[in-house]
Chain A
């Protein structure tokens, strides 16, 4: 029987989705994580504890493990483990994006440099260190611009600045975020860097795909109907299918396909974020992984399969070209954290679930826990899911249901 090594960060939202997918495909599973599994001592071969920081050591651990439990595929659920998955797959000769491509795509600055060097349309950008003089850096910048700390993800610390004064305030705020313990860990031993790039106006969309032998197979284009104009860039609603004209969607696919080719991402999932302005698509970033959070819940395919099943299918060497997105529209709303404090209550859940089209609500932060909104925070309050015949109906259902929720946050 085939065995897949699933690499899951200890705080992954995706554990259940990937484990369930592997079960449906009837493959043996080993879960590798930077978290010791509770019953690992009693279930040999079931779990592997790995670090994300020292790639060489993790690769050596997996290679040793594979001599006892041969692996057919290695799949990283999130960014953190993608370099380990890529490096080990290369050693073991398994299907995966190459390590260099993963490194380029994970680092927004390297990605911009490589795309620009290949003649890919790119915004103005500059990479600064947090130890640089903020005032001098602000003078060099062109406005409006967006500051993006390279060590962080999911829009955390991403701030728009329209003037040098706003730039200075954003810089100070990012410095504060980068001093938080988890951010220090993510930054590693080097000095934290900030990518400063020209703000790209327009609506935002996402593309979910799997690259097979260098060819992008687009699984879904997702609209983000809430304006993403800053100063912070909080993800809220994602709806698929996209309501953009077919020609624009083709432009989006083409843009992602070209960036995939330039970066050398040739076998594995990709998640791209783009801006669309005057029917022209511009790449914000592309990640060598699938969509984050619980958002993959809205991606269903025919013949019946989830996104995680398709990712495993491909990693195990099985074709995925017979699959297409299931009919109808689906959407998810990542519930924003309204203010800093302690979450005391989330009421209105039953009323929200009564809205036609609403299929589920998951509150992922326990009551009593401290919550922090963007740009400092790194959690969503939860996820609201909808399904309806059209994308308009899905979006409307999510908005009405969200309005019925009441989150009580008290100062901590």
Chain B
């Protein structure tokens, strides 16, 4: 356990106030705030923010003091939450902490901007790769020429028996929807060199 003051996250005034109110109401216990990334998938990133007692801190935890209260995080969550902003929201139907994390922006939350190639790359990063990563795969943009997108599939996608399905039913449909001026998608992967395909054909 190591204490430091440079916190990777920022609390809004309302979020800080909410935490402090809780701590004042329970001042005998000396609670700290644990923040962790429960699911890093950009398809559906999830976070857990809980009040913990001193005995619940773990040896590997990092502790940050700069908020007027202790914030406890695992090293892996620190990396994923660098620059995140924590707010408190209260509506008629729900109340709770809301995490805005630029590292795990949910799919579709960032507008695609810039020249065609940049937008295709952003669409691949935002929409395609988080999905294929679930099968150990990755897709890399080779180039966009004459509105044709040339892609390379790697990891579990390279040599996978279902790669053509992922390409036509998934990647192509997503890219055409997100970047309508695209006229075609070409897979330039050498699938024979795939060392660890997600699925090997056998029938």
Contact = CB atoms under 8 A, between A and B. Distances in A.
Interface stretch (B12-20, B79-87, B89-97, B159-167): B159-167
Contacts of B169: 19, 29-31, 37, 39-40, 43, 46-47
Contacts of A47: 165, 169-170
A42 B107 contact: yes
B131 interface: yes
A247 interface: no
Interface string B26-44: 0000000000000000010
A41 B127 CA distance: 11
A37 B192 contact: no
Contacts of B4: none
A38 B203 contact: no
Contact of B200 (A16, A42, A379): A379
Contacts of B192: 362-363
B165 A15 contact: yes
Interface residues of A, number: 41
A295 to B, nearest CB: 12
Interface in A14-44: 15-16, 19-20, 23, 29-31, 33, 35, 37-43
Nearest to A39: B170
Contacts of A13: 161, 201-203
Contact of B168 (A9, A19, A35, A362): A19
Contacts of A23: 168
A229 to B, nearest CB: 25
A80 B203 CA distance: 10
Contacts of B174: 39, 42-43
Interface stretch (B47-55, B65-73, B132-140): B132-140
B108 to A, nearest CB: 9
A180 interface: no
B153 to A, nearest CB: 11
B131 A78 contact: no
23 contacts: A8-B165, A10-B162, A11-B161, A11-B202, A11-B203, A12-B161, A13-B201, A16-B164, A19-B168, A31-B165, A35-B199, A38-B134, A38-B166, A39-B131, A39-B166, A42-B170, A43-B174, A46-B170, A153-B203, A364-B200, A365-B200, A366-B159, A378-B203
Given A20-B164, A38-B137, A46-B169, 17 more contacts: A11-B203, A13-B202, A15-B164, A19-B164, A33-B165, A35-B199, A38-B132, A40-B169, A41-B131, A42-B131, A43-B170, A46-B170, A366-B159, A366-B197, A366-B200, A368-B195, A369-B200
Interface of A: 8-13, 15-16, 19-20, 23, 29-31, 33, 35, 37-43, 46-47, 78, 80, 153-154, 292-293, 362-369, 378-379
